[in-house]
Amino acid sequence: MEFNKISVIGLGYIGLPTAAVIASRGIEVVGVDVSQHAVDTINEGNIHIVEPDLDIVVRSVVTTGKLRATITPEKADAFLVAVPTPLNSNHQPDISYIEAAAKAIAPVLETGNLVILESTSPVGTTEKLAHWLSEARPDLSFPQQAGDEADIRVAHCPERVLPGYVLQELVANDRIIGGMSNKCSEAATALYQTFVRGECINTNARTAELSKLTENAFRDVNIAFANELSMICDKLKIDVWELIKLANRHPRVNILKPGPGVGGHCIAVDPWFIVDSAPDEARLIRSAREINDNKPKFVLEKIKTAADQFKRPVIACLGLAFKADIDDLRESPALGITQDILEQDIGEVLVVEPNIKTLPKALAERGGVLVKLDEALEKANTIVALVDHKEFKKISANILNSKVVIDTRGIW
């Protein structure tokens, strides 16, 4: 199958880099987004999200005319859907953005088109997408009706890139290709081969859906194991970091790192999609989620106890991001813990986050201040390491020895 024009629906953390990388291979790409701001920003050659080097690639493909953004879908050879699939307040997946995307592209579909769902999705969503498309276009046939003979091909190819390394991983990672028929998989493989250097591995759509969820649930369960160990060690007065280092000497043991909780938009979210589909069976996966979600409360209790030793507790919160050396504060346990310290009035709060310039409003309004590391180390009597940013690894033991220290990341 030949691709002269590809449309990417949803120009966020996955859609925009994907659109830009495909365009950089010389293929015409039309990006579609519901946000006028996103569309305008991209058409000016700029970006509205944070990802290293993405600005350079977008600027270059917009300048050469290979990438263009619009609000209204138009005809293309292939449509790549990369819209959000958030959780609702009951921990259930919300796939309404996929439904909206299906309804938006249905009118411009033509025989021979390929539709790929990239969004992380609960099992069965690709079939639902195909159903919504077919409802809107009864004049066309879809793989659920016609298999390999269908007019439109549909596949699920989950993204698996690591934020911060998206441009490298988009090209280097292997891709799982979950076609609704063999022809669907073949067409999707041909599309990814235009820009992916990794292997494209074929399966069906449902297995591809669960594979992506499984990868993130595996991480979550293993982090929960480490977090549970850290609480057991606290009770038994054992250094969890030493314990893990020793246990990891075993050739077949590889324990991950405990932390203040699990953040980000994927690992703390995707396991719930499995729990929602199989609530009676997914007992370990659910427990892991609960353990990781409760870890910030445990850390907060530790901070309270530490602060109680001082008449005027001055607490340095080191790090707000959801992991090391990035500026992304969304779904960050560090941010939540800092906010709780302020809300519960546990002490004066000095925040150090080398990757941001202004403190989030929620913290500033409650009296938090953003300071340089040196100032925090000088003024605080309680030091809480919430993120293992590289700047914090250099703090000297002399300074720390004179303070009460809570190191949630095992930096020191």
The catalytic residue positions are 212, 266
Name the residue among 183, 224, 185 with its Cα closest to residue 207.
185
Choice between 153 and 289, CB closer to ligand SAJ: 289
Over the range 6-32, which residues count as b (16 or more CB within 10 Å of their CB) and which as e? bbbbbbbbbbbbbbbbbbbeebbbbbb
Of residues 32, 266, 320, 346, which one binds ligand SAJ by CB under 6 A?
266
Span of 128-136, 157-165, 195-203, 354-362 interacting with ligand SAJ by CB under 6 A? 157-165
Choice between 59 and 219, CB closer to ligand SAJ: 219
Choice between 108 and 255, CB closer to ligand SAJ: 255
Dist. CA 30–CA 33, nearest whole Å: 10
Residues with Cβ within 8 Å of residue 146, at least 6 apart in sequence: none
Q: Cβ(335)–Cβ(342) under 8 Å?
A: no
Of residues 322, 359, 383, 410, which one binds ligand SAJ by CB under 6 A?
322
Q: Cβ 214 to ligand SAJ, closest distance in Å?
A: 9
Assess 264 for contact with ligand SAJ (CB under 6 A).
yes
Of residues 49, 267, 341, 350, which one binds ligand SAJ by CB under 6 A?
267
The CB-nearest residue to ligand SAJ is 266
Strand (E) or helix (H) holding 362 = helix 361-364
Q: Cβ 337 to ligand SAJ, closest distance in Å?
A: 12
Helix, strand or coil for residue 202? strand
Q: Cβ 264 to ligand SAJ, closest distance in Å?
A: 3
Choice between 296 and 347, CB closer to ligand SAJ: 296
Of residues 15, 163, 319, 368, which one binds ligand SAJ by CB under 6 A?
163
Strand partners, 6: 29, 78
**How many residues contact ligand SAJ, by CB under 6 A?**
19
Q: Cβ(247)–Cβ(253) under 8 Å?
A: yes
Q: Cβ 314 to ligand SAJ, closest distance in Å?
A: 26
Assess 216 for contact with ligand SAJ (CB under 6 A).
yes
Residue 45, sorted as left (phi over 0), alpha (psi -120 to 50) or beta, turns out to be: left
Choice between 221 and 267, CB closer to ligand SAJ: 267
Assess 162 for contact with ligand SAJ (CB under 6 A).
yes
Assess 208 for contact with ligand SAJ (CB under 6 A).
no
- Which residues, 104 to 143, sit near ligand SAJ by CB under 6 A? 120
Name the residue among 156, 151, 169, 271 with its Cα closest to residue 220.
271
Span of 136-144, 263-271, 280-288, 351-359 interacting with ligand SAJ by CB under 6 A? 263-271
Over the range 132-171, which residues count as b (16 or more CB within 10 Å of their CB) and which as e? bbbebbeebbbbbeeeeebbbbbbbbbbbbebbebbebbe
Query: Alpha-carbon Rg of the chain, whole angstroms?
Result: 24
Assess 300 for contact with ligand SAJ (CB under 6 A).
no
Residues with Cβ within 8 Å of residue 130, at least 6 apart in sequence: 115, 142, 143, 144, 152, 154, 180
Number of residues in the chain: 412
Residues that bind ligand SAJ (CB under 6 A): 120, 160-163, 215-216, 219, 223, 256-257, 259, 262-264, 266-267, 322-323
